[in-house]
Structure 1
Amino acid sequence: MITRLHLYLVDAAAAVVIGVLVGYAMVEHQEKPWWLVVPGTLLVAAPVAVRRLWPVSSLVITTAATAAVVIGQVLPLEALGAPMGAVCFALYTVAAERPRTWSLAGLVISVALISAVTGAEPENIVVVIAALGAVWAIGYTTRLRRSFLDREASQRAEQALAGERLRIARELHDVVAHNLSLIAVQAANAAHVRSPEHAYEALTVISETSRSALTEMRGLLGVLRSDADLAPSPGLDGLSDLADRASLAGVRITLDVRGESVVPEGIGLSVYRIVQEALTNVVKHAAPTSCTVLVDVTPSSVRVEVTDDGPGVKELGVGHGLVGMRERVAVYGGTFSAGPGPGGGFRVVAELPHR
C-alpha cells in the first residue's frame, strides 16, 4: 500500500529531476552565473516537492518563476518543457484537491502567463492550452472520482448503521416480548390463585425472569458503548435455558436438538431467536399446553420445528413476531412457514442453510 511518505518521496524525486533539467538548460549555452541559476532553479522546481501540502502556493510560485526566468532570459525559450512539467504537477494537484473555482482560476492564470512568455503565437497558445487543459481535466476527474468514492463509503456506513439499528431493534423485540409474556402469565396466576405458596412461586418466576431480561438487554445495548464488555451471542447451547423459562409459564416443553451444536454464530443466534419467538407465541396464545421443539442440525442446514397442541389460531395476526422470524430466515436464503398444524395446535417450521 502506498503511504503518504512514499508520495512525498516521489514528489521530491520529481522536483530533483526537474531541477537538474532546468539548471542544465540555464547553463548549457548561456553560461549564466550561479547566483541566478540556483535561485531560479529552486523557485521553479522546489514547489513540486511540497505540492501536496500547499497546492495553490506551489502553483503560483512555480508558474511565476517559470515566467520570470524566461522573460529575464535566464532560461531559453526552447527549454520551456522542463518548467512546464513543474507547472503541470502543481496544476494537477490544485485541480484534484481544491474546489473547482480555485482550480479554474489556476488554469486560467497558468495558461495566460505561459502563453505570454512564448511570444503569444497562436500555435504556441494552442499547445499550452491543450497541455494544461488536459492536466486540469485529469486532476478534476480525479477529484470527482474521490468525491464519489467518499459518498459511496458514507452511504455504506449509513446503511451499516441502519442495519445495526434494525438488528438491535429486532433483538430487543424478541427479548422484551418473550420475557414480558412470561411475566404477564405468572402475574395473572399470582393474582388469581388462593394459595400463598403458588403466589410465591409465581413471584419467584417473575423475579428471575425480569433479572434475566435485564441482563440480556444490558448485554445487547452494551454493544452501543465502546467500553462495553462484549459477551457471546446466545445460540443453540442456550435453548435448554430458554425451554426451562418457558416451562415456568405452564408450557410443557420437549426439546430435541439433533446433530452437532456447532454452527456459525449468526445461524445459532437466528435459531435461538426463532425458537424464543415461537415459544413466546405459545405462552401468549396456547398456555397451558405442551410444546415440542425440534432442532435438526445437518452439515448443510439447520431445521427448526416448533409445534404445540393448543387450541390454535384462526388468523396469524399482524404482530412483529412472525415477520421477524421470516426476516431472519430470509437473510440466509432459507424457508419459513407458520400456521395451524395438521393435527391441531400451531406449527412453525424454519430451515436455514449455512453452507
Structure 2
Amino acid sequence: MRREWIKDLGLTLVVLLAQSGPFLFAQRIDPEPWTFLDYLPVLWACMPVFFRRYQPALCVFISALGVGAYGVISHGPAQPIWYGALVCMYTVAYQSPRIQRLATLAITGLGMLIVIGSINTAIRELATWSAAYALGTLGRTRKEAAITAQAQATQLATERERTRIARDLHDILGHAFSLMVVQAESGAAIARQDPARAEKTFDAISAAGREAMTQLRETVGTLRETPSLSNIDSLVLKLKHAGLVANLVVRGEPRQLPDEVQLAAYRVVQEALTNVVKHARAKKVEVIMDWRPESLEMSIVDDGVGNTESEGGHGLLGIRERVAAVGGRVDVGPCASGAGFKVKTVFA
C-alpha cells in the first residue's frame, strides 16, 4: 500500500511538472507575470491523478472541469496536452467496471462536442483522449489474460498433483494389499503343514502392512521423501517372502538420474510386480536394470500366464502415464517365447 502511494505521488508530480512547462518557457505578451489564478486550473486538473485508483471516473470529470476552468478564468499560456485528464482516462479504461467505462467515454465525448467551440479542436481532443482510453483497454486486456493464464496453470498443476497422488496411492496400497492377500491365502494351508514357515508368512504380512502405512503417510505428507532406484531391491525381496522366485539383475554402470525419473522407475517396477502377484500366477519373476550409455532400460519379466488386466486398467494405464510424464517409453505384452509377460521401459 505504501509503495502504491509513493508511485501515485511521483506520477502526480511528473504530470504537474509537464503541465507547468508552458508557464516556465512561454512569455506573456504584456509584461505582467503569471498569477496564481492563472495557474490554479493546472493544479485542479493535475491533482486528481493522485486519487485516480480509488475513483477513476470521478477523477476524470474533476480533471476535465479543471481543463474547462483554464479556458474561462485563466490567462495562462496555451496547453497542447492535458496530461492529468489523460492519465485518469487511462485508469478508467484499465480498472473501472464496464458500465462506468462506457458512461465515462460517452459523457466525455459529448461534453467535448458541446463545450469546445472549434470542431477541429474537438476532434483532436477526442482522438487524444480515445488513445488514452485505448491504451488503458490494452493494459486491462493483458492483465485479464495473465490472470486467466495463471488460473489455468494453477488448475492444471492441481489436477496433475491429484493424478500423481492417486497413482501413488494405487501403487502403494495395491502392491501391499496384493502381497498381503496372497500370503494370507497361503498362510492357512502352510500353518497345517509347517507351523514355523507359517509364522514367517504372517510376519511378512505384518511387515507389508506396516510398510504400506509408512508410504501412505509419506504420500499424504506430499511425498517429501520419495522412493528411488536404490529401493527396488526391497520390492524384489518382498516377492521372495511371498513365495515367488524373484531376482534383480543389474547390468552396466549405474549413474545418478533426476528424482522424478527415479520415482517413476520405482513405481513402474512396483506396479508391474503387483500385476504379477494379482494376475500372472507366475512362479518366477525377474527385474532387469540395464544401464546403457544414454539410457536406462528396465524390464520386468515373469513366467506366468500373462497379464489379464485390460489396457485401460489403472495399473497399466498408470505405468504408461508415469513413463510418458518423464519422457520415457514403455512396451508391454507377452514374452517373445509365448510364455509369460514382459513390461519394458526406457528412460533417457
Tell me if TM exceeds 0.5: yes
Letter in 2 for 1:199: A
| Larger CA deviation: 332-341 vs 156-165 | 332-341
Determine if contact 1:26/1:32 at 8 Å carries over to the other structure: no
Contact 1:307 1:345 in 2 (8 A): yes
Q: 291-300 or 268-277: which moved more?
A: 291-300
Q: Write the distance in 2 (CA, Å) between the matches of 1:257 and 1:118.
A: 88
How many residues align structurally? Answer: 341
| Structure 2 counterpart of 1:216 | 215
Q: CA deviation at 1:265?
A: 0.9
Rounded Cα–Cα distance in structure 2 between residues aligned with 1:340 and 1:314: 11
- Relative distance call for 1:91 and 1:167 in structure 2 (3 A) is same
SS at match of 1:337: strand
Look up the equivalent residue of 1:62 and give its one-letter code. S
Deviation at 1:190, TM superposition (A): 2.3
TM-score normalised by structure 2 residue count:
0.87
Q: More displaced, 39-48 or 340-349?
A: 39-48
- Worse overlay, 123-132 or 285-294: 285-294
State the Cα deviation string for residues 156-186 of structure 1 (Å, max 9, x = none).
Answer: 1111111111111111111111111011111
Q: 1:150 to 1:271 in 2, by over 3 A?
A: same
Find the residue that maps to 2:221 and give its secondary structure.
helix
1:56 to partner: Cα distance: 2.8
Which residue of the partner structure matches residue 273 of structure 1? 267
The alignment partner of 2:247 has SS state of strand
TM-score using structure 1 length: 0.86
Counterpart of 1:88 in structure 2 is: 86
Shift of residue 57, structure 1, vs aligned partner? 3.5
Deviation for aligned residue 1:216: 0.8
1:247-271 deviation line (CA, Å, top 9, x unaligned):
2211222112332241011110111
Offset from partner CA, 1:132-177 (integer Å, 9 cap, x none): 1222122112212221221122111111111111111111111111
Q: CA deviation at 1:313?
A: 4.7
The offset of 1:219, in angstroms, is 0.9
Aligned equivalent of 1:226 = none
Match of 1:207 in 2: 206
Mapped contact 2:330–2:345 kept (Cα < 8 A): yes
Give the secondary structure class of the aligned counterpart of 1:79. coil
CA shift in 2, pair 1:64/1:282, >3 Å: same
Tell me how large the CA RMSD over aligned residues is. 2.7
- Matched residue, 1:245: 238
Structure 2 gap segments, 5+ residues each: none
Task: Name the SS for the 2:47 alignment partner.
Answer: helix
Aligned residue type for 1:211: R
Instruction: Specify the alignment match of 1:138 in structure 2.
Output: 135
Residue pairs, 1:332-351, within 5 angstroms: 332-343=326-337, 344-351=339-346
3-state DSSP class of the match of 2:344? strand
Structure 1: gaps spanning 5 or more residues: 224-229
Match of 2:126 among 118, 125, 129: 129
How far does residue 234 in structure 1 lie from its aligned partner after superposition?
Answer: 0.9
The change in CA–CA distance for 1:97 and 1:313 in structure 2 (over 3 A counts) is closer
Are residues 270 and 104 of structure 1, via their aligned partners in 2, closer, same or farther at CA, if it must alter by over 3 Å?
same
CA offset digits 1:267-324 (Å, max 9, x no partner): 1011101111111111223456121111123342211111112233567565211111
Which residue, 214, 221, 224 being the options, matches 1:231? 224
Residue 10 (structure 1) shift: 5.2
| 1:227 alignment partner in structure 2 | none
Alignment pair present for 1:42 and 2:43: yes
What is the CA distance between 1:189 and its match in structure 2? 1.7
Output the CA distance in 2 between the equivalents of 1:292 and 1:32: 100
Instruction: Say whether the 8 Å CA contact 2:248–2:287 is kept in structure 1.
Output: yes
In 1, the alpha carbon distance for the partners of 2:113 and 2:57 equals 20
| Contact kept? 1:45, 1:86, Cα under 8 Å | yes
- Is 1:307 the counterpart of 2:306? The answer is no
Asked if the contact 1:190–1:199 (Cα under 8 Å) also holds between the matched residues in 2, the reply is yes
Letter of the 1:293 counterpart: V
* Cα distance, 1:15 vs structure 2: 2.2
Instruction: Give secondary structure in 2 for the equivalent of 1:86.
Output: helix
Change (3 A) 1:206 1:34: farther
Residues 28 and 160 of structure 1: CA distance in aligned 2, closer, same or farther (over 3 Å)? farther
User: Residue 56 of structure 2 aligns to which amino acid in structure 1?
Assistant: P
Conserved? CA contact 2:285–2:300, under 8 Å: yes
SS of residue in 1 equivalent to 2:284: strand
Which runs of structure 2 are paired with 1:282-321 in the superposition (5 Å)?
282-287=276-281, 289-313=283-307, 316=310, 318-321=312-315
For 1:28-177, list aligned pairs within 5 A: 28=28, 31=32, 34-37=35-38, 39-72=40-73, 74-76=74-76, 79-82=78-81, 84-119=82-117, 121-177=118-174
Q: Which moved more, 1:313-322 or 1:275-284?
A: 313-322
Q: Structure 1 324/215 Cα, relative in aligned 2: closer, same or farther at 3 Å?
A: same
Q: Residue 327 of structure 1 aligns to which amino acid in structure 2?
A: E
Amino acid paired to 1:58: C
Q: Which amino acid aligns with 2:130?
A: G
Percent of matched pairs sharing the same residue: 32
TM-superposed CA distance for 1:246, in Å, is 2.2
